[in-house]
Chains A and B, each alone.
Chain A
Amino acid sequence: MNILYFLVGCSVLMALIFLAAFFWAYKTGQNDDVHTPGIRMLFDDEAAAEKSEEDHFSS
C-alpha cells in the first residue's frame, strides 16, 4: 500500500500542473475575448479570390 504515497504525490502534482496551465492561459489573455475567434475561424483564406477579382475596380 505504500505505493499510495507515490500516487497521491503524483495526483497532487498533476493537479498543480493543470492549475499552473490555467494561470498561464489566463495571464496571457486567452480568455479575454471568447467571441471573436469563433467568427474569425469562419473566414476563408483566399477562397473568394475569384469573386473579389470580379469586383476589382480600377479607375
Chain B
Amino acid sequence: MEDQNKTTTQALCYHCGEDLPAIKYQAGDKDFCCAGCMAVFKILSENNLCNYYVYNNNPGQQFKNELHLEYLDEPKIIDQLLDYKHESSSIITFYIPAIHCSSCIWLLEHLYKINPAIFSSRIDFLKKQVTISFNHDEISLRQLVETLGQIGYEPLISLQDVVQEHSSSVDKALVLKIAVAGFLMGNVMLFSFPEYFGLSGFEKQFQSLFGWLNLTFAIPAAFYCGRDYFTSAITSLKHRHINLDTPLALIIAVLFLRTAFEILFSTGPGFADTLTGLVFLLLMGKWLKQRTYHHISFDRDYRSYFPIAVTTLQNGKEKPVSINEIKIGDRLWIRNGELVPADAILMKGEAWMDMSFVTGESDPVHKVLGEIIYAGGRQTSEAIELEVIKPVSQSYLTGLWNNDNYKNNTEKQNFNDTVAKYFSLGVFLIAFAATGYWLLQNDSHKAWAAFTAVIIVACPCVLALSTPFTLSAILSVFDKKGFYVKNTDAVEELSKCDTLIFDKTGTLTSNEHAEIGFSGTISGEEKIIVGSLLRNSIHPLSRHILKTLNVDRFYSISDYKEVVGKGLTAKINNHSIYAGHLSMLPMAVKSASESGVHIVIDHVYKGCFDIKQQWRSGLAQLILKLSKFKLLVLSGDTDKDRWMLDTIFTEKTTIRFRQSPHQKLDAVLKLQQGGNKVMMLGDGLNDAGALKQSNFGIALTDNINNFTPGCDAILKGSALNYLPDFIQLSKDGLKIIKTSFAIAIAYNCIGIYFAVQGTLYPLVAAVLMPISTVTIISFTTMATRWFARKNKLI
C-alpha cells in the first residue's frame, strides 16, 4: 500500500500536484513540474517552512506569469488600498483566490518567517482574505505583494477593493438587534410567569413592579428592535402600496400601545411578552433571509474585472495611474495579458485582442493602427500603445453592463407581498366589524379590546417566518449540491421560470476538460522536435500540447524567438521550425481551422493542434428532462457545432449562432415581453447583460472562485445535471409555504374566535402565538427535507 502511494506521489509535482512532464525539475529528492514550483519550494525550504507540505499533499498552486506591480509604488494608490496606517506600521487586507486548504492558512500565517518586517498575518478562510500588518519603512507594499507572489499566493487587487461598499454593516446592526430582542424576551417571559400561574394575586405589589418592568422592556423592543418595520411601513404607504411590513408594524404599535395603556392605568398585565417574542422571531426570520453565502461574492460588478491601475505614458515615461483618474487623451501602455480598461484607439504596436469578455469568442482578433479597441479586450501579443477616447465609466463594456434596459429597480413582487395585501385587508375588515358590533351593543370597553385582540391574533408573523425558513432550508440543500443561489427571493423566481436559454461555450461545453487534437501527420522524430521547441515557452497552450506529445528527450535549440500570443520559431538540428498562429507562418497555408497551433517544419506544413471543446456529460438526458420547458440556445460562436446541438436538442428548440451580447439581451427582453419567465444559463461577461436581465440568471462555472457576473445563482459545471431537480424543489418549496399558510389560518381562526368576543387574555395570546410559530417552523423544516429527499437532492 505504501509503495503504491509512493509511486503516485512521485508521478506528481511535489508542490502543485500536476502530472510531471517527461523532463522534470529536481531539487533534492523532490520532483517538480516547472521551474516556478521548484522556486517556491526553495524559498519555503530556505525559510524552514516545509511544514507547508506536512498538512496536505501537493498544496501549492502552479506558478503564474510575472507580475507588473509598479503601480503599488504610487502613494495615492497605496492610500486607497491600506486599511490602516500609523507611524511605521500598516495594515492591509488582500483577496487571494489561491487559498484553498489548511496548508495555505499555515503558510500565510507564518509570513513573518520569510520577512521579519511582516508583523503578523491573519487569514479568513471562507472569504479567502488575508490581513497583514507590516512595517512599511522596511518593506514596501510592492515588495509585500511580490513576496506573496513568490510563494504562489498572488493577491487579486481590483478596482472593487478601492470602491468598496460597506454592505456588511447592515447585517451587524441586525445581529445586535436580535441580541437585544432576545435579552428583552427572556426577561419579559421571566417577569410574566407569575401572571401565567396566577401567583401575582397573592403579591399585588409585585404585579405592578413586574408590569412596569415589562413596559420598560417593551420600549426598546418596539422602538429599537422593531424600528425597521415602522420605517418600511411608512415608505410603502408613501408609495401607496402595502407590503408585509405594514401589518407587522401595525401589530407592534397596537401591542405596545395596549401594553402601555394597561400598565399605566393598572387595568391588566399587557402584552409585553407577545410583543418581545414577536419582534425576536421576526428578526430571526429576517436574519435567516439575509444570511447569504459569504464564500461567494455575488456583488462583483464590472469593476472587479479591471485592475486598479494602468500604465500610462507621460512624455515617453511609464507612470502607473489609478483607473479612476484616466482621462480622454491619455496614452496607455498595455502589456501582454493586460486588460484594456477604457475604449481607446491603437497608436502603436501589433494588437491581438482576446475579446472573450465582450463577445465570447476567445480567438484573438487582429487590430490595425487607428482602430478602436473596446474596453474589456485582453492583449495577447506584445505591448501596445493606446489613446483613450472615452473614460472608463462610459466605455462600451460598462455601457453594456449598466444598460438602461436592465431590470428596473422596482422590487419584484413576491408571493409574500401579494398575500400581505389581502391579508391586511381581511384583518382590518374583521377588526372593524368586531368593533362596530360591540359599539352597537354599547360596550366600548369590549369594542376596544376586540379591535386590538383581532389585530394581535391575526399576526402575519407566519407569513414573515415560513418563507425565510423554507427557502433558506432549500438554499442549504442547493448549496451542498453546488448550486449557490443569491438569496431567498431568487428561489421564488426560479420556481416560476418556463423558458430556458443556454449559452454554448462554457455552458454546454466545458472549458476545463478541453482536449487537444492533432490534424495532420507527424512522425516520432518530428514530435521530439516540436516538443523541444514548445518546452521553452510558458504559454498555457504550449504546456498543454507538450503534455499530450509525451516525449521523453529533447534536442538543444538555437535562434529561439517567441512572439507572445502568436507563436514560436527556432532552429533544431538544422531544421527550422515554426509553431503558432496562421499569420506567423513563413508561408500562406490553407487550413480548415483558423485557430489552433500550426506546425511548419522546414517549410513543410505538418498540421495543426486544435483545442476541441468537450460537451458536458449527461447533456442529452438533461435536455430530455427539461423538455417541458421552452428551450433556446444562443451561442456567440460560429455554427461549426450545429450538428451536435441538433442531436441533443429537439426540433422545437431555437438555436442561433453568432449572437452578440446585445442580441442575447434583446432575445431575453423579447421573451419577457411575450410573458415568458426566462432563465438564462451562461458563463462569461459576454452573457452578463442577458444574465442580469433574465428572471433567473445562472452563471455556470467549473471553478467557483472565478469571477462571475451579475446573476442570481452560480452553478458548478458538474451539478448541471441536477438542474431539473433544483427547479422542482423550488416549486415544492412554494407549495410548502402555501400549506404553512393554511395551517396558520387555522390557528388564526381559533384566535379570532376569542378575539372578536373581546375575551382574549394575554395568557391565551402568549400560548397561541408561540405554538403556531413552532408548528409552522417545524412543518416547513420537515417538509423541505422530505421534498429534497424525494427529488434525490439529499
Partner of B48, one of A4, A12, A40, A52: A52
Within 8 A of B (CB), among A5-45: 5, 8, 11-12, 15-16, 18-19, 22-23, 26, 31-33, 35-36, 39-40, 42-44
B180 lies within 8 A of chain A by Cβ: yes
Residues of A within 8 A of B50 (CB): 51-52, 55-56
Whole-angstrom distance from the CB of B226 to the nearest CB of chain A?
Answer: 17
Pair B53/A26 contact, Cβ less than 8 Å:
no
B205, closest chain A residue (CB): A1
B125 lies within 8 A of chain A by Cβ: yes
Whole-angstrom distance from the CB of A53 to the nearest CB of chain B?
Answer: 8
Residues of B within 8 A of A16 (CB): 183
Q: Known: A1-B203, A48-B54. Is A57-B124 also a contact (CB below 8 A)?
A: no
Whole-angstrom distance from the CB of A48 to the nearest CB of chain B?
Answer: 5
Cβ proximity bits B111-136 to A, threshold 8 Å, 1 near / 0 not: 00000000000111111000000000
- For the complex, what is the distance from the CA of A22 to the CA of B51, rounded to whole Å? 37
Pair A55/B45 contact, Cβ less than 8 Å:
yes
- For the complex, what is the distance from the CA of A19 to the CA of B27, rounded to whole Å? 57
Q: Known: A4-B206, A58-B46. Is A35-B180 also a contact (CB below 8 A)?
A: no
- For the complex, what is the distance from the CA of A33 to the CA of B50, rounded to whole Å? 27
B586 lies within 8 A of chain A by Cβ: no
- For the complex, what is the distance from the CA of A46 to the CA of B54, rounded to whole Å? 12
Number of interface residues of B (CB under 8 A): 37
B763 lies within 8 A of chain A by Cβ: no
Residues of B within 8 A of A32 (CB): 124
Pair B109/A33 contact, Cβ less than 8 Å:
no
Whole-angstrom distance from the CB of B602 to the nearest CB of chain A?
Answer: 41
Partner of A40, one of B105, B206, B213: B105
Residues of B within 8 A of A15 (CB): 183, 186-187
Number of A-B contacts (CB under 8 A): 79
Pair A36/B124 contact, Cβ less than 8 Å:
yes
- For the complex, what is the distance from the CA of A44 to the CA of B106, rounded to whole Å? 10
B179 lies within 8 A of chain A by Cβ: yes
- For the complex, what is the distance from the CA of A39 to the CA of B104, rounded to whole Å? 11
Pair B183/A55 contact, Cβ less than 8 Å:
no
Whole-angstrom distance from the CB of B575 to the nearest CB of chain A?
Answer: 36
Residues of B within 8 A of A40 (CB): 105, 109
- For the complex, what is the distance from the CA of A8 to the CA of B205, rounded to whole Å? 13
Q: Known: A19-B180, A36-B124, A39-B125. Is A55-B102 also a contact (CB below 8 A)?
A: no
Q: Known: A1-B203, A36-B105. Is A57-B186 also a contact (CB below 8 A)?
A: no
Partner of B125, one of A1, A31, A35: A35
B45, closest chain A residue (CB): A57
Whole-angstrom distance from the CB of B206 to the nearest CB of chain A?
Answer: 7
B540 lies within 8 A of chain A by Cβ: no
Residues of B within 8 A of A36 (CB): 105, 122-126
Residues of A within 8 A of B106 (CB): 43
A44, closest chain B residue (CB): B51
B175 lies within 8 A of chain A by Cβ: yes
B28 lies within 8 A of chain A by Cβ: yes
Residues of A within 8 A of B102 (CB): 39, 42-43
Residues of B within 8 A of A44 (CB): 51
Pair A52/B51 contact, Cβ less than 8 Å:
yes
- For the complex, what is the distance from the CA of A55 to the CA of B28, rounded to whole Å? 8
Pair B54/A26 contact, Cβ less than 8 Å:
no
Whole-angstrom distance from the CB of A14 to the nearest CB of chain B?
Answer: 10
Pair B187/A12 contact, Cβ less than 8 Å:
yes
- For the complex, what is the distance from the CA of A36 to the CA of B45, rounded to whole Å? 25
Q: Which one of A11, A33, A58 has the greatest number of beta carbons of chain B within 10 Å?
A: A33
- For the complex, what is the distance from the CA of A44 to the CA of B123, rounded to whole Å? 17
Q: Known: A8-B213, A26-B179, A32-B124. Is A59-B48 also a contact (CB below 8 A)?
A: no
Residues of A within 8 A of B191 (CB): 8
Partner of A26, one of B55, B109, B175: B175
Residues of B within 8 A of A52 (CB): 45, 48-51, 54
Q: Known: A26-B179, A40-B105. Is A59-B42 also a contact (CB below 8 A)?
A: yes
- For the complex, what is the distance from the CA of A55 to the CA of B48, rounded to whole Å? 8
B190 lies within 8 A of chain A by Cβ: yes
Q: Which one of A18, A35, A51 has the greatest number of beta carbons of chain B within 10 Å?
A: A35
Residues of A within 8 A of B53 (CB): 55
Residues of B within 8 A of A48 (CB): 51, 54
Pair A57/B28 contact, Cβ less than 8 Å:
yes
B771 lies within 8 A of chain A by Cβ: no
Residues of B within 8 A of A51 (CB): 50-51, 54
Cβ proximity bits B350-381 to A, threshold 8 Å, 1 near / 0 not: 00000000000000000000000000000000
B43, closest chain A residue (CB): A57
B41 lies within 8 A of chain A by Cβ: yes
A1, closest chain B residue (CB): B203
- For the complex, what is the distance from the CA of A5 to the CA of B213, rounded to whole Å? 11
- For the complex, what is the distance from the CA of A33 to the CA of B128, rounded to whole Å? 11
Residues of B within 8 A of A39 (CB): 102, 105, 125
Pair B42/A33 contact, Cβ less than 8 Å:
no
A12, closest chain B residue (CB): B187
Pair B105/A57 contact, Cβ less than 8 Å:
no
- For the complex, what is the distance from the CA of A35 to the CA of B55, rounded to whole Å? 17
Residues of B within 8 A of A22 (CB): 179
A42, closest chain B residue (CB): B102
- For the complex, what is the distance from the CA of A55 to the CA of B106, rounded to whole Å? 17
Whole-angstrom distance from the CB of A8 to the nearest CB of chain B?
Answer: 7
Residues of B within 8 A of A11 (CB): 187, 190
Residues of A within 8 A of B41 (CB): 57
Q: Known: A4-B206, A40-B109. Is A56-B48 also a contact (CB below 8 A)?
A: yes
Whole-angstrom distance from the CB of B74 to the nearest CB of chain A?
Answer: 30
Residues of B within 8 A of A43 (CB): 55, 102, 105-106
- For the complex, what is the distance from the CA of A52 to the CA of B190, rounded to whole Å? 59
Pair B45/A56 contact, Cβ less than 8 Å:
yes
- For the complex, what is the distance from the CA of A10 to the CA of B401, rounded to whole Å? 59
- For the complex, what is the distance from the CA of A30 to the CA of B109, rounded to whole Å? 18
- For the complex, what is the distance from the CA of A23 to the CA of B364, rounded to whole Å? 55
- For the complex, what is the distance from the CA of A56 to the CA of B42, rounded to whole Å? 9
Residues of A within 8 A of B264 (CB): none
- For the complex, what is the distance from the CA of A35 to the CA of B48, rounded to whole Å? 27
B190, closest chain A residue (CB): A11
Residues of B within 8 A of A18 (CB): 183
B102, closest chain A residue (CB): A39
B176 lies within 8 A of chain A by Cβ: yes
Residues of A within 8 A of B213 (CB): 8, 12
- For the complex, what is the distance from the CA of A43 to the CA of B180, rounded to whole Å? 37
B172 lies within 8 A of chain A by Cβ: yes
Residues of B within 8 A of A8 (CB): 191, 209, 213
- For the complex, what is the distance from the CA of A56 to the CA of B27, rounded to whole Å? 10
Whole-angstrom distance from the CB of A13 to the nearest CB of chain B?
Answer: 11
Whole-angstrom distance from the CB of B633 to the nearest CB of chain A?
Answer: 40
A32, closest chain B residue (CB): B124
Q: Which one of A36, A51, A56 has the greatest number of beta carbons of chain B within 10 Å?
A: A36
Top 5 A-B pairs, shortest CB-CB distance: A55-B50, A57-B45, A52-B50, A36-B125, A33-B124
Given contacts A23-B179, A31-B175, 11 further A-B contacts (CB under 8 A): A12-B187, A12-B213, A35-B126, A36-B105, A39-B102, A43-B106, A52-B49, A52-B54, A56-B50, A57-B27, A57-B45
21 contacts between A and B (CB under 8 A): A1-B203, A1-B206, A8-B209, A12-B187, A15-B186, A19-B183, A23-B176, A26-B179, A35-B124, A36-B123, A39-B102, A40-B109, A43-B102, A48-B54, A52-B49, A52-B50, A55-B50, A57-B27, A57-B28, A57-B41, A57-B42
A: residues with CB less than 8 A from B are 1, 4-5, 8, 11-12, 15-16, 18-19, 22-23, 26, 31-33, 35-36, 39-40, 42-44, 48, 51-52, 55-59
